[in-house]
Every structure is written in C-alpha cells, then in structure tokens.
Amino acid sequence: MRRRTFVGLTGVSLISVMLAEATSGSRPAETEALASVLTGSAVGLALPEPGPPDARTLAAEVDAARRAYQACRYSELARLLPALLARLDSACAMLVGDARSEACALSADAHHVAAGLLLKLDDQGLASLAADRSMRAAQASGDPVTIGASARIVTHTLMSGGHLPAAVSAASSHAARLDP
C-alpha cells in the first residue's frame, strides 16, 4: 500500500468516527430537559399553578435540590431541576416586592446548583448559561450574599472553561463590590 493511500484512508476513517460521535447525541438524555429550560424553549414543563407561587414550597424544593447535589444524586437532580427552574422563573415574573426578591434569590441558588451539576457532567456550554442565569437572578434579588454565591459559580465556570484571567477578574471585581 502506498503511503498517501494509507494516510488518506486513515484520515477518512478518523473523520467518519468523529462525525458519528458528534451526531449520535453523545450528551446524556437526562440533561435535554434542562437544556430546554435554560434556553427558554421548554414547553409543557411544570406549568405554574393558578395564583401566586408558594415561597415556602419553592424554598424547600431548592433546598432538596442542593442536598441532592451534595449527595451526588445527579440523575435524580437532572430530573428535578427543569421543572423547579421553570416554576422559579414563573415566580420571579409573577411576584412583586419582597416576594419577588426572595423568588429571585431562590432562582439564583437553583441555577447555581444546575451550573454545578452541568460542570460535573462536563457540559461547559450549559454550565456557563446556568451560571449566567444564576447571576442575573442574584442581581434581581438585590441580596449581596446571593450575588456573592453566584459570583462564585461564574468564577468556577470560567476556570473550568480555561478562562483563568477572566475568572480572576470576575472574582476580584465581585469581591471588591462585596467588601463594604
């Protein structure tokens, strides 16, 4: 066999394997609903109940999600988070005043958990999106502690993506804002 023919056939084989992996849906199916919620394209996921959402129930669900993450129950968490995030988004949109601030803080915490889970599942793109949503919800809450927690997951996501200078800058600027 001639060298050029061998290199050409090897290259074609390698490319066909890479294309097969790229189109086979190599992402875990359990994160598809999470991807839909994070991108705002979820349809029919946990439609909010009529009337104002119950803050205590939402707080208990966010706490349960954090405990599931800490206990490494990632499959269970991936099933629970999409509906929870959808309900929290609805609560943030429906409520006003202190109730809205509380719902936004809960949303920031739940998105923080989602970003951590997605980092564990090696889904950098969705983790970045979840971290951004965490920070936006934290800023809407106005709570400095919540903003600090969201800054942590933004920094962690940047570091995981290999963006060390941006991570250092984000951590430093948020720390300076929290200093007073």
Cβ 106 vs Cβ 59: under 8 Å: yes
Structural domain contains residue 74: yes
Looking at residue 29, what is its pLDDT?
Answer: 64
Instruction: Specify the CATH number for the domain of residue 141.
Output: 1.25.40
Average pLDDT over residues 79-92: 93
Query: Average model confidence (pLDDT) for the chain?
Result: 83
In the chain, how many domains are there? 1
Boundaries of domain holding 126: 31-39+48-178
| Residue 85: pLDDT over 60 | yes
Looking at residue 102, what is its pLDDT?
Answer: 96
Structural domain contains residue 7: no
Structural domain contains residue 97: yes
Cβ 38 vs Cβ 82: under 8 Å: no
Structural domain contains residue 23: no
Structural domain contains residue 8: no
Looking at residue 43, what is its pLDDT?
Answer: 58
Convert the pLDDT of each residue in 17-59 to its tens digit: 444 444 444 455 678 888 888 888 765 555 555 566 788 999 9
Measured CA distances, 117 to 18, 61, 85, 86 (Å): 26, 16, 14, 17
Structural domain contains residue 103: yes
In order, the DSSP letters of 119-177 are HHTT-HHHHHHHHHHHHHHHHHHT-HHHHHHHHHHHHHHHHHTT-HHHHHHHHHHHHHH
pTM, 2 dp? 0.79
CA angle 110, 155, 129 (to 5 degrees): 50
Structural domain contains residue 11: no
Structural domain contains residue 5: no
Interatomic CA distance for residues 133 and 161, integer angstroms: 17
